[in-house]
Amino acid sequence: MRDVSRKHISRILVVLLLVGLVAASLGVASNAIWTDSEDVDANVFSTGTLDISTNPTTALVTYSDMAPGDSTGGQSLTVSNAGGLDLRYAVTMTADNTDSKGLYAELDLTIREEGTDCTTFDGTVLYGPDLPFLLTGDLIGDPTQGADTGDRTLTASNSEVLCFKVDLPIDAPNSVQGASTTAVFTFEAEQTDNNP
């Protein structure tokens, strides 16, 4: 019986040794898998810019010693989008009344698209005619965020010309004799992308 047990144990050991060798050879084979990889590099992200500018930047419409019936005539203003993003803009105005004579309320302001040219002053009306200066208010569009009625749009790297004209009506009252007012036109821009 002992011989049988020893033979049996010897066979079991031989089987275990063979299983171990097979497992070892499989392990070696599994470590021989070829691999490769590829990097996708240079993933650069940058943000765009909003850059609205005007030309001229000061003294667009001026007139000294105006008399009733005088007009500045059409004056051109180029609005440019020098940024990389499309934008929309609105125009607001403030005027002063430091002499308390109220000249701002007597002056008529008209703003038009360019049309033929600003001297001809025949483009589509954007503001006016016969609408007075405002102490403060919206002229074109609305600077509130989002698309508003009257907002102007400019694609990246483009510009447009607006024409401004200021008149002192023939029936201006005597009370504005010797009066003055200074106005500031503000162009406020916002992105159009992802901004309903």
pLDDT truncated to tens, each residue of the chain (196 aa)? 555 566 666 666 655 665 565 555 555 445 689 999 999 999 999 899 999 999 999 999 999 999 999 999 999 999 999 999 999 999 999 999 999 999 999 999 999 999 999 999 999 999 998 887 888 999 999 999 999 999 999 999 999 999 999 999 999 999 999 999 999 999 999 999 999 8
In the chain, which residue ranges form alpha helices assigned H by DSSP? 2-30, 103-106
Three-state secondary-structure class, residue 32: coil
> What architecture (CATH level 2) is domain 52-191?
Sandwich (2.60)
Q: What is the DSSP letter of 56?
A: S
In one-letter notation, the amino acid at residue 194 is: N
Computed over its alpha carbons, how large is the radius of gyration of the chain? 40
pTM, entire model: 0.79
